């Protein structure tokens, strides 16, 4: 190959044979198919982003990254007496759960809660509204006494578990407390039959007066 | 005369290492640079979310603090102040209505500050820390009492308010008297009874903050 | 044996650069616009000599047409990796009273449309205005509680003059959704419970009270948005619309 012809040869447009092009296209399509199967076949996204669940029972003090949490004995009724406003009624049953929060490291304002009902459904608890949990900022070392109230159908009471966490929107990769409330169908029946209003006091640093 | 011929395995192995020695030397550096290049979120999600840039005072001495605070309107405004911690004592006279919970105590943080009267100092945050680094915040509206919103300025003469851009024209002009050049404040913080305060931290915008060690800290 | 197509005289005797099958470029050093067949002349010559009419006709097509066919084949091939995802079909049905309708994540049964000037627990923005209430039974048919903001988007009013609320893309949303028995705002909407609520709309007192209103029901889709990776109920779309009669509220009916 002469020196003058080599550059001319390089400038000429060479095309690979048809078989090679077809093979390459087939390989690209195969890679796309395999990629789709791999990303959609196994549901790993939820597990990778899952929170660290710390389990416990009523009365146990759960040690989370950001706070020490104790869930006390729940009560219930068909009528709720909130701190502010008039009585609230529900087509199901009100569940009122006292929660004690002691922050660790710096002041923490817990805002996330949800109830995993015994019927398999998830009952949302927001920072305000009919089903609410709002403890406010807790000073480290100074226990904060808050109350969570949620309305559920009676079939969700038996076997219900309560989850409490820090950030209301995002609990990924952080500690979440899960407490088995130890409720039975007998509790559900008793509460759906009664209409004595159950109190849901606002959060405070003073322990609630025990009747 | 016999010469030993090196086996093909050792020849190629030695030559691979030799061939790639400079790349191997550069590899740790390249990995570090790669980590640094993809670490821009470390700044916004961690560095700027905590107390990471201290200006520490000598015990009992004043310290000059300067920060260009982002003003929320695309620019910055300067914070120039001199702070001295006078004492951290058990609060003698509690603010009106303050109820100290069981197992807790109230401490009074006495500080002397001096700054130019037209420097905006409203919107500061105060906390005390113990030897472990646990932070106990000053909360203006808690435990039954209402204290000043900004614990670092006098309640009756807090000085200029931060600018709100176009809203400034609509708001009523500030009628509080001019802030003095030097003043003292004594906000009250509620914390557990068995905690020993080792320093006081004061900040306007994270991560820069002033650290004022106490006599014990 | 090396197969070669046309080689330039100058290149004869030189080693091929790439592989064994070196195709000669279609054009020489000077460029011409392609308007003829796409296939190189050598391939076409072989197709003609092979006697297959299909091969000859395919290779005689201009590049434009081959491109279209190729694109269609490529699109069909996307079926193998998700190209055939189901699309929901749309069509606006007629809304009737007292008929439960599935508008994900809710099942709504519109019972009546009433208006009143006094509603305890709710304040009018201006005296003289009135409240239009669409009394509905709401049931959350999904597996988890849903915030009240999603319920507000599920039922809107259309073509009602004098409404105080600003209209959105899908009609005017309610200013409040009040549970009839205690007057509280319904949020969050828990699954497994049937709530009797009134969707409240404020109407200017100067317009005469309506005798009928157009009610629209929207359904949501569970998914992630393009900018927001959190999963939620989004993209409300109207699926039912109906003209319902409106009347004045009788005293024993409405919210406490």
* Closest chain A CA to residue C79: A33
Residue A86: asked if its preceding bond is cis (omega within 30°), the reply is no
Q: What is the pTM of this model?
A: 0.75
Q: Do A142 and B139 touch (CB under 8 A)?
A: no
Size of interface A-B (CB pairs under 8 A): 48
**C123 or A211, which is more confident:** C123
pLDDT band, residue A21 (cuts 50/70/90):
confident
CATH number at residue B133: 2.60.40.1240
Same domain for C133 and C222 = yes
Residue C123 placed within a domain: yes
Mean pLDDT, rounded, for A23-36: 92
Q: Do A151 and C190 touch (CB under 8 A)?
A: yes
Counting residues of chain A whose pLDDT is more than 70, the rounded percentage is 93
Q: Do C195 and A91 touch (CB under 8 A)?
A: yes
Residue B99 placed within a domain: yes
Same domain for B177 and B126 = yes
Q: How far is CA A95 from the centre of its chain?
A: 18
Query: Is the distance from CB of C157 to CB of C163 less than 8 angstroms?
Result: yes
Say yes or no to pLDDT of B80 above 50: yes
Say yes or no to pLDDT of A112 above 90: yes
**Which of C25, C192, C195 lies closest to A12 in CB terms?**
C25
Residue C217 placed within a domain: yes
| Number of Cβ within a 10 Å radius of residue B91 | 18
* Closest chain C CA to residue A82: C184
Residue C67 placed within a domain: yes
C161: Cβ–Cβ under 8 A, 6 or more apart, which residues?
Answer: C207, C210
3-state DSSP call for residue B87?
Answer: strand
Residue C161 placed within a domain: yes
**Which of B135, B139, B192 lies closest to A106 in CB terms?**
B135
Same domain for B150 and B119 = yes
Q: What is the pLDDT of residue C17?
A: 47
Contact B31/A at CB under 8 A: no
Residue C107 placed within a domain: yes
Same domain for C209 and C128 = yes
Q: What is the pLDDT of residue C57?
A: 76
Q: Which chains pack against C, by 3+ Cβ pairs within 8 A?
A: A
pLDDT tens-digit readout, A129-148: 999 999 999 999 999 999 99
Alpha-carbon distances, residue A163 vs A111, A173, A181, B6 (angstroms): 11, 15, 10, 69
* Closest chain B CA to residue A145: B101
Asked which of C59, C85, C111 is the last residue of a domain, the reply is: C85
Q: Do A105 and B135 touch (CB under 8 A)?
A: yes
Binned average pLDDT, 10 residues per bin, chain C of 256 residues? 47 47 50 60 74 72 78 83 65 86 93 90 88 94 94 92 87 92 92 95 91 92 81 90 88 54
Q: Do B136 and A207 touch (CB under 8 A)?
A: no
* Closest chain A CA to residue C29: A12
User: Chain C partners of A172 at a C-beta cutoff of 8 Å?
Assistant: none
Q: How far is CA A206 from the centre of its chain?
A: 28
Mean pLDDT, rounded, for A102-131: 94
Residue B46 placed within a domain: no
Same domain for C122 and C194 = yes
Same domain for C167 and C74 = no
Same domain for C170 and C117 = yes
Same domain for B202 and B153 = yes
Question: How many domains would you assign to chain B?
Answer: 2
Q: Do B192 and A206 touch (CB under 8 A)?
A: no
* In chain A, domain spans: 5-41, 53-200
User: Chain C partners of A32 at a C-beta cutoff of 8 Å?
Assistant: 78, 80-81
Q: What is the pLDDT of residue C110?
A: 94
| CATH tag, A53-200 | 2.60.40.1240
Instruction: Please tell me the distance from the alpha carbon of residue B136 to that of residue B129, in angstroms, as a whole number.
Output: 6
Contact B144/A at CB under 8 A: no
Residue span of the structural domain in which B12 resides: 8-38
Alpha-carbon distances, residue C3 vs B46, B216, C20, C22, C142 (angstroms): 66, 93, 7, 9, 68
Mean pLDDT, rounded, for B152-169: 87
* Closest chain C CA to residue A129: C187
pLDDT band, residue B137 (cuts 50/70/90):
very high
Contact C25/A at CB under 8 A: yes
How far does C144 lie from chain A, in Å, by closest CA?
A: 4
Instruction: Please tell me the distance from the alpha carbon of residue B191 to that of residue C109, in angstroms, as a whole number.
Output: 54
Return the residue in C5, C30, C137, C145 with the most chain A beta carbons within 10 A, the one to mutate for interface testing. Answer: C145
Write phi, then psi, for A76 (nearest 5 degrees). -160, 170
Same domain for B94 and B29 = no
Q: Do A151 and C144 touch (CB under 8 A)?
A: no
Q: What is the pLDDT of residue C18?
A: 47
Same domain for C113 and C79 = no
User: Chain A partners of B191 at a C-beta cutoff of 8 Å?
Assistant: 139-142
**Which of B101, B137, B190 lies closest to A206 in CB terms?**
B101
Same domain for B14 and B112 = no
Contact C81/A at CB under 8 A: yes
Size of interface A-C (CB pairs under 8 A): 107
**C13 or B112, which is more confident:** B112
Q: What is the mean pLDDT of chain B?
A: 88
Question: What count of Cα atoms within 13 Å lies in the side-chain half-sphere of residue B7?
Answer: 3
Residue B18 placed within a domain: yes
Q: Do B190 and A141 touch (CB under 8 A)?
A: no
Window 80-139 of B: residues touching A by CB (8 A cutoff) are 99, 101-104, 127, 133-137, 139
How far does A93 lie from chain B, in Å, by closest CA?
A: 33
Residue B147 placed within a domain: yes
User: Chain C partners of A120 at a C-beta cutoff of 8 Å?
Assistant: 143
How far does A76 lie from chain B, in Å, by closest CA?
A: 28
| Number of Cβ within a 10 Å radius of residue C74 | 11
Same domain for B205 and B144 = yes
Return the residue in A6, A14, A37 with the most chain C beta carbons within 10 A, the one to mutate for interface testing. Answer: A14
CATH number at residue C225: 2.60.40
Q: Do A105 and B191 touch (CB under 8 A)?
A: no
**Which of A88, A92, A126 lies closest to C182 in CB terms?**
A88
Q: What is the pLDDT of residue B31?
A: 95
Q: What is the pLDDT of residue B6?
A: 54
* Closest chain C CA to residue A80: C182
pLDDT band, residue B169 (cuts 50/70/90):
confident
| Number of Cβ within a 10 Å radius of residue C231 | 10
Pick the range with the lowest mean pLDDT from A1-10, A86-95, C227-236.
A1-10
User: Chain A partners of C4 at a C-beta cutoff of 8 Å?
Assistant: none
How far does A205 lie from chain B, in Å, by closest CA?
A: 6
* Closest chain C CA to residue A170: C230
Q: Do A125 and C188 touch (CB under 8 A)?
A: yes
User: Chain A partners of C147 at a C-beta cutoff of 8 Å?
Assistant: 124, 126
**B64 or C47, which is more confident:** B64
Same domain for B16 and B89 = no
Same domain for B103 and B31 = no
Same domain for B79 and B14 = no
Same domain for B18 and B110 = no
Same domain for C111 and C47 = no
User: Chain A partners of C233 at a C-beta cutoff of 8 Å?
Assistant: none
Same domain for C199 and C111 = yes
Same domain for B108 and B33 = no
Question: How many domains would you assign to chain C?
Answer: 2
Same domain for B29 and B112 = no
Same domain for C78 and C187 = no
Residue span of the structural domain in which C49 resides: 34-85
Write the DSSP string, chain C. --------GGGTTSPPSSSS-PPPPSS-SS-----SBSS-HHHHHHHHHHT-HHHHHHHTSBHHHHHHHHHHHHHHHGGGGTTT--------EEP-TT--EEETTEEEEEEEEEEES--TT---SSTT-EEEEEEEEEEE-SSB-B-HHHHHHHEEEES-TTBSSPPBTTBEEPSEEEETTT--B--SB-BT-EEEEEEEEEE-TTSPPPSEEEEEEEEEEEEE-SS--SEEEEEEEEEEEEEEEEEEPPTTTS--
* Closest chain A CA to residue B143: A205
């Amino acid at each position: 190959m002469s020196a003058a012809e080599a550059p001319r040869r390089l400038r000429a447009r060479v095309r690979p044979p048809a078989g090679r092009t077809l093979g390459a296209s087939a390989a690209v399509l195969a890679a796309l198919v395999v990629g789709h199967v791999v990303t959609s076949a196994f549901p790993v996204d939820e597990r990778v982003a899952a929170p660290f669940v710390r389990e416990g029972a009523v009365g146990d003090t759960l040690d989370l990254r950001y706070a020490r949490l104790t869930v006390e004995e729940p009560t219930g009724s068909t009528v709720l007496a909130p701190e502010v406003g008039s009585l609230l009624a529900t087509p199901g049953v009100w569940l009122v759960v006292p929660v004690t929060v002691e922050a660790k490291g710096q002041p923490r304002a817990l805002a996330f809660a949800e109830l995993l009902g015994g019927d398999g459904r998830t009952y949302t608890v927001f920072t305000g509204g009919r089903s609410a949990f709002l403890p406010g900022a807790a000073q480290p070392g100074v226990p904060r006494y808050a109350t969570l109230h949620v309305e559920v159908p009676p079939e969700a009471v038996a076997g219900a578990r309560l989850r409490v966490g820090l950030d209301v929107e995002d609990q990924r990769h952080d500690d979440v407390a899960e407490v088995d409330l130890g409720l039975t169908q007998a509790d559900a029946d008793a509460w759906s039959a009664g209409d004595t209003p159950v109190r849901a006091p606002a959060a405070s640093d003073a322990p609630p007066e025990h009747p | 005369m016999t010469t030993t011929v090196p086996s093909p395995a050792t020849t190629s192995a030695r030559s691979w290492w030799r061939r790639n020695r400079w790349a191997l030397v550069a590899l740790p550096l390249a990995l570090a640079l790669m980590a640094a290049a993809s670490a821009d979120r470390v700044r916004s999600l961690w560095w700027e979310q905590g107390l990471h840039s201290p200006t520490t005072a000598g015990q009992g001495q004043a310290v000059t603090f300067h920060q260009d605070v982002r003003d929320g309107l695309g620019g910055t405004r300067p914070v120039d102040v001199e702070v001295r911690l006078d004492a951290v004592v058990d609060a003698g006279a509690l603010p009106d209505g303050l109820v100290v919970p069981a197992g807790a105590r109230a401490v009074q943080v006495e500080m002397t500050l001096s700054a130019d009267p037209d420097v905006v100092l409203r919107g500061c945050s105060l906390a005390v820390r113990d030897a472990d680094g646990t932070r106990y915040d000053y909360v203006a509206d808690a435990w039954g009492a209402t204290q000043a919103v900004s614990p670092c300025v006098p309640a009756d003469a807090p000085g200029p308010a931060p600018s709100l851009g176009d809203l400034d024209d609509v708001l009523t002009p500030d009628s509080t008297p001019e802030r003095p050049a030097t003043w003292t404040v004594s906000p009250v913080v509620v914390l557990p009874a068995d905690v020993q305060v080792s320093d006081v931290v004061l900040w306007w915008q994270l991560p820069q903050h002033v650290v004022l060690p106490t006599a014990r800290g | 044996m090396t197969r070669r197509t046309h080689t330039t005289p100058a290149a004869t005797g030189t080693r091929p650069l790439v592989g064994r099958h070196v195709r000669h470029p279609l054009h020489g050093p000077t460029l011409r616009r392609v308007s003829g067949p796409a296939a190189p002349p050598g391939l076409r010559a072989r197709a003609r000599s092979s006697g297959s009419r299909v091969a000859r006709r395919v290779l005689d097509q201009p590049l434009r047409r081959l491109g279209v066919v190729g694109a269609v084949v490529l699109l069909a091939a996307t079926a193998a990796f998700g190209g055939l995802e189901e699309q929901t079909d749309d069509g606006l049905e007629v809304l009737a009273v007292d008929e439960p309708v599935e508008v994900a994540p809710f099942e709504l049964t519109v019972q009546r449309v009433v208006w009143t000037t006094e509603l305890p627990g709710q304040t009018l923005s201006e005296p003289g205005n009135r409240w239009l209430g669409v009394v509905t039974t709401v049931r959350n048919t999904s597996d988890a509680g849903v915030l009240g903001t999603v319920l507000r988007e599920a039922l809107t009013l259309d073509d009602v003059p004098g409404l105080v609320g600003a209209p959105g893309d899908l009609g005017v949303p309610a200013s409040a959704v009040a549970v009839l028995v205690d007057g509280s705002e319904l949020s969050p909407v828990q699954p497994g419970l049937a709530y009797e609520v009134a969707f409240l709309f404020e109407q200017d007192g100067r317009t005469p009270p309506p005798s009928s209103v157009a009610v629209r029901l929207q359904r949501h889709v569970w998914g992630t948005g393009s900018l927001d990776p959190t999963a939620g109920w989004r993209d409300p779309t109207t699926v039912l619309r109906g003209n319902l009669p409106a009347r004045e509220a009788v005293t024993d009916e409405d919210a406490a």
